[in-house]
Amino acid sequence: MITLLAWLLGALAVVVLLPVLVLFLQVLLACLPGPWLPSTSTARGRVAVLVPAHDEASVIRASLASIIPQLREDDTLLVVADNCSDDTAALARGAGAQVVERQDAERRGKGYALDHGVRQLAQQPPDVVVIIDADCLVAEDAIEQLARCCLASGRPVQSLYLMRAPAGAGVKVLIAEFAWRVKNLVRARGWSRLGLPCQLMGAGMAFAWKDLAASELASGHLVEDIKLGLELCRDGKPPLFCPQALVTSQFPSSDEGLTSQRTRWEHGHLGLILADAPGLVARAFAQRNWALLAMTIDLLVPPLALLSLTLMALLVVCWLFFALSGSLAPALLATCAAGLLSGAVLLAWGRFAREQLPFSVLLYAPFYAVRKIPVYLKFLIRRQVDWVRSKRDGD
């Protein structure tokens, strides 16, 4: 019986160790000196910026003000005011955008808004479509970089999309900002060092018109962006990371808004792992599609808080088992995983977040992970499956 338990704990430790190894490799590669930047030496083409917006009156003017100066005369700025109950549409028109309004109480979610916008753009198709969320700010020259990179590569392109803590935010929001930076900057940069694709991140995404028009966008999936990226990679169009194009947004400062946002993202991510990852791995090997395999391996790295919680629990169980049975191998595997995870976090902080996050705040990370236990228990008991907009600070 003890031998069987030792094998089971050892197997569990290996399962946890594998995503930790992937994370550590990505961080290590990202820390290599010298930037890796994709080519943008091609014509820019005609661009359409598509902005899905649901009750975004408090933020949409600032977002459009960051986009409009980057557009040329023959470009298009289209806002899809989706199931809005405020004056989002009027504010967008006043800022100079084309606006279409959509009302459908049954089919709710960003995917449906994007599908509606793409059908509107089909009347005069652009060369490139850039998707920007209505609560985002687009850095100077980002539209240019995304469009050129998309046309030069013939692939979907993902900007560097960062979420930032608002001024005066508490420790919890600062830790969330760090976790987001690890996921969207460090891990994407690390994979790109090997010429591997990145996940689509929801905003700051550029697509050749023919690729986006052929995609199935109309869904209420919680992480429609990640799903779309995997589908495009499956079809031979792996997304490319373009870190020189920066798009930023801001975390909600309220606990309610932050919890709602994180629940939607993390339940969607975990649901996608359970539902799609096995089939994606099988398809990648069958097609010898190594880009898809790399994206799926990246997908299998769970949220940093969940990975930390799982590892902490496993470490305690394995060392207790060693004390009772004398079986050391599971405890050593769990300890190795804990060391690699700690090393990855420290490397990522030292190279990419030292200026944004004091080390003293990083020490709070284990407590932040513990406070997220209800989010993960809810996934097991009553998983969120419907898209729900996060509460903005101005609401």
pLDDT at 365: 85
For the chain, how are helix, strand and coil distributed in percent, rounded to 5? 55, 10, 30
pLDDT at 192: 94
pLDDT at 311: 94
pLDDT in tens, the chain (395 residues): 678 888 888 899 999 999 999 999 999 999 988 766 776 667 889 999 999 999 999 999 999 999 999 999 999 999 999 999 999 999 999 999 999 999 988 888 888 999 999 999 999 999 999 999 999 999 999 999 999 999 999 999 999 999 998 888 788 889 989 999 999 999 999 999 999 999 999 899 999 999 999 998 888 777 889 999 999 999 999 999 999 999 999 987 666 666 677 777 788 888 888 888 999 999 999 999 999 999 999 999 999 989 999 999 999 999 999 998 888 999 999 999 999 999 999 999 999 999 888 998 888 888 888 888 888 888 778 776 555 555 555 55
Q: Is the dihedral of CA 276, 281, 283, 287 positive or negative?
A: positive
Provide the H-helix boundaries in 154-254. 171-181, 187-193, 209-213, 224-234
pTM for the structure as a whole: 0.90
Residue 237: φ, ψ to 5°: -125, 70
- Residue 198 and residue 285 in contact, taking contact as beta carbons nearer than 8 Å: no
Q: Where are the domains of the chain?
A: 1-47+131-395
Residues whose CB falls within 8 Å of the CB of residue 328, separated by 6 or more in sequence, listed in order: 322
pLDDT at 264: 77
The rounded distance, in Å, linking the Cα atoms of 76 and 51 is: 11
- Residue 56 and residue 134 in contact, taking contact as beta carbons nearer than 8 Å: yes
Residue 50: strand, helix, or coil: strand
pLDDT at 391: 53
| Burial category of 17 from C-beta neighbours within 10 Å (exposed 0-12, middle 13-18, buried 19 and up) | buried
Instruction: List C-alpha distances in Å: 103 to 99, 108, 254, 309, 380.
Output: 13, 9, 28, 41, 32
The rounded distance, in Å, linking the Cα atoms of 66 and 303 is: 30
